[in-house]
Structure 1
Amino acid sequence: MTNIKIMKSITSIIVAILLCSISSAYSQAIDKFSIDSGGDTSSSANIQILYTIGEVNIQERSSANLQLSEGFINPQIVLAISLDPKVFLQGPLLNPTIAGLMNDDLRVAAYIPTTSPYADNASMDASVLNVSGNDAIVDWIWVELRDANDNTLIVYSGSALLQRDGDVVGADGVSNLLINLPSDNYFIVLDHRNHLGVMTATALALSVDNVNTMNFTDSAFSTFGSNAQVILVSANTAMWAGDTNETDQIKFSGSGNSTNSIKDYVLADPGNGFNSVTYSSTGYLPIDVDLDGSGKFSGSGNDSNIIKDNVLNHPSNGFGSPTYTISQTVPLASN
């Protein structure tokens, strides 16, 4: 009887060992990594949140700007400078259809590209150009922040969009610009592909704690250099129109003048079969000084006359010389 009990005990032990072995062999292993199923950047006011969504993870993963654990959203909150500049371009305000608003002829004609013409090749959704009214897009514009101690040193640069009422906004067409820099003093530069750029007279205090506004259209707003902007009939100020060859200068006659750029473009236009100097080239053109969608060298409504009038009427051109050069007052960047 005792031997039978011993045998049963041994058998039970063997069965238990076998069951444990089978269970161990077929049990699920949990690896210490996550399978990411998504992620994005979300912005609100001047707060930017970076995040990734993943499956359950029993180990934390981190990089320079992100930390994830347990598969939940683990954001890094970045406080950015919220910039709300306002500026006018002279060209689309020469014959405004609505007083105080720049014309948006390029948008109406569907000439504005969804990819920026500037160095960063920023892009916007085509639906942004469906907006009309005060917030309709006039064109792309270039924004820089420069070092407070060296106004030739660019610490931020990027494309933005310009609305009819002068608001400079992000690529979504409505939001303030978010710039990932700390609170500090900066020079602010605004530039355009065929208008002369403009810069604040001094470095302004910009903070991540609030929206930073600056109105370049206000004649009382101080800009760098003498006659940095043109004074409009409305008494507002605007960026000088006429830099058709991207030299940061406006010249009516003389070597390298801006009007010859218009003439050369028009005469070389494949659609100008008769090489007529009165031909109108159309599209998104550097020679389109008033941004109406066409570039003309001579004839009614030509762009050359805008350049001539700016040169002859410039406050510093005391003798009304047609060879006078209007130079951009923004210092040449060192980087």
Structure 2
Amino acid sequence: MHYNILKKVVLIISLILPITLFAQPKQCKPPGDTIPPCPQMGCLRPDCLCPPDPPPGPRMPVLAPKDPNEIIGPRGFDSLKWVSIKATLSYKILFENDPDFATAPAQKVIIYCPIHPNINPNSLRLGDFGFGPFNFSVPPNSTTFSRRLDVKDSLGVFVDVTAGLDLANRRAFWILESIDPATGLANTVAANGGFLPVNDSLTHKGEGYVTFTVIANRNTSTRDSINKQASIIFDVNEPIATNTTLNIIDAVAPVSSVLALPSLVDNVFTISWTAKDDSLGSGVKEYALYYSKNNGPYTLYQKNIDSTHLSFTGEKGATYSFYTLATDYTGNEETPKSAGEQLVTIKGEGLLVAARAFLQGGYNAVNGMMIDSLRSLYLLPATEPYRALGFTAVNNPTIETPKAGVLDSVEAKGITDWVWLELRNSSTPTQVVANRAALIRRDGSIVDMDGYSPVFFNKVIEGNYYLAIRHRNHFGVMTAAPLALTKTSAAVIDFTNPATATWGTDAQRNQNGVMMMWAGDINKDGFIKYNGSANDKVMILAKVGLANPNNILTMYDVNDLNLDGKIKYNGSANDKTIILSNVGIATPNNILVEQLP
């Protein structure tokens, strides 16, 4: 217990000073008004009229309660007693009718506890309270409490309890007052009666407590402090201050991220991550690792991890995505993430494909690469778009999703667009054995979801396959003969090289010795048409608006043939011109046919 020494001294003196059993006049005066008071009252003359001295014997001590007291706050973390800005902070105020000084039960106890400026006063919730052998529950989520307690069989009194928030004075309060059961009044309780007897160390009958919780203001900052000090009033005594509790706020949750992983790994591999907390905060305590298997929901793999790496065992052939959540020493947890940070495929039955191609619509002859306007305008879809466009997945349940940051990369060979790869039966080239989406970079490299690795076809056995590359508004292209594909090596099939044999005749456009996939098949009917029924240019006009042919739309869409992120029917860099160029300016009724079986 913490004691107020000064008030103890005052109270000790008051306990020692007696009051007599005899009545005393309010003042001592001589027989005449002209004679000064008696010596006890300052009179120095022998003819003073003074009361007789009290007889020898015991004197009655002053009847008074005494109150050692304490407030107990959150334990917190470390010597600074860190607490989270989101934490519900619990407090307990203790009071005692101290047997070393008190001589009578306490009849009324008032407790005040100011609400610190960094606390939201409306967050106050009253908790349980008690005195002596009695404990009382307060309904959950209570901001006020008022009740008459019947303890007359044990203590001879009722106790009226009132508690709540004094918002005007910004303080919590509790009033516990003894009531005479016979009259229903407080002022008729006997002098030696009251709800809180003088305490003893065996029964603790003279002890009491109240509890409450509060929450910090949401606008507090890390290193802001919260202190609490209560004052307790016993009957008509002066308020006695408790000790002061002090806690420090940690207002910011840490952040973490999984470090880069290879696109293809063995079934047992190590995942590592990094994290940082607010520079002024309590520090990172632990991590939780979450994973998604084959684009399923994210599941907790392990929590309470106290290191920045962990061994993970997965299923062969499965694709996994991971993220971590960090927690600091006050319990502030990183905001849940909606997507994985790293994606891996575990080696199993499967094979690798390394290919290169150019999309005519986005090709820039000046630098020999494709543009990346879709990336720079943040229009590239976060997941593969082909299923939504009607492409049928074969032997591929996974919706491909790039690793975090891949689509945002500003490197010289960043991502231009998505493409669709097909492996076809070596004996029946019309039969698709497996397919999947992949990313195509500005230099034509077709890569997996990490942005640089060869494309892995999961659960496809090694063997000979035709390889076809398809796009949402370009003609597809396919090798002229089956290729031997394995899971350990991937020779690059370069469709930009005129020497690479392709299926059919004029399967690609030859632009100054660089081969590229024909642009213009917007409706994916296998034809590029400028005029006539089901032509492709009318798709562009319909998109911008028949009544507004000069309209320009900025979006990711099949009508954007030049891949600049804009759909234009008229004006410079419009999309229909590509169709006319391909069929021939002098032969606008010409029709190109896709060379895929």
Pick aligned residue for 2:367 from 96, 99, 120:
99
Deviation by residue 1:131-179 (Cα, 9 ceiling, x = unmatched): 1233200001000000000001111100000000000001121211112
Counting matched residue pairs gives 257
Conserved? CA contact 2:466–2:483, under 8 Å: yes
Residue in structure 1 matched with residue 358 of structure 2 by the alignment: 88
**Counterpart Cα distance in 2 of 1:197 and 1:205:** 21
TM-score, length of structure 2 as denominator length: 0.41
Matched, 1:225 2:504: yes
Higher relative strand content: 2
Residue in structure 1 matched with residue 522 of structure 2 by the alignment: 244
Matched, 1:118 2:386: yes
Moved more, 181-190 or 140-149: 181-190
Higher relative helix content: 1
Larger Rg computed on CA atoms: 2
Pick aligned residue for 2:406 from 112, 121, 128:
128
Conserved? CA contact 1:198–1:330, under 8 Å: yes
The 3 A distance-change label for structure 1 pair 50 and 210 is same
**Counterpart Cα distance in 2 of 1:296 and 1:52:** 49
Matched, 1:303 2:575: yes
Kindly report which structure 2 residues correspond to 1:1-335, keeping only aligned pairs within 5 A, or say none.
48-50=265-267, 76=316, 78-93=348-363, 95=364, 99-119=367-387, 121-180=399-458, 181-233=460-512, 235-267=513-545, 275-312=547-584, 320-331=586-597
Deviation by residue 1:1-23 (Cα, 9 ceiling, x = unmatched): xxxxxxxxxxxxxxxxxxxxxxx
TM-superposed deviation, 1:247: 1.6
Residue in structure 2 matched with residue 27 of structure 1 by the alignment: none
**Counterpart Cα distance in 1 of 2:508 and 2:466:** 17
Determine helix, strand or coil for the equivalent of 1:162.
strand
Conserved? CA contact 1:288–1:303, under 8 Å: yes
TM-superposed deviation, 1:130: 2.2
Residue in structure 2 matched with residue 5 of structure 1 by the alignment: none
The 3 A distance-change label for structure 1 pair 137 and 124 is same
Conserved? CA contact 2:541–2:569, under 8 Å: yes
**Counterpart Cα distance in 1 of 2:261 and 2:564:** 34
Deviation by residue 1:186-206 (Cα, 9 ceiling, x = unmatched): 000000001000000011111
TM-score, length of structure 1 as denominator length: 0.71
Moved more, 161-170 or 298-307: 298-307
TM-superposed deviation, 1:101: 1.0
Conserved? CA contact 1:48–1:80, under 8 Å: no
The 3 A distance-change label for structure 1 pair 158 and 75 is closer
Determine helix, strand or coil for the equivalent of 2:583.
helix
The 3 A distance-change label for structure 1 pair 128 and 254 is same
**Counterpart Cα distance in 2 of 1:52 and 1:221:** 38
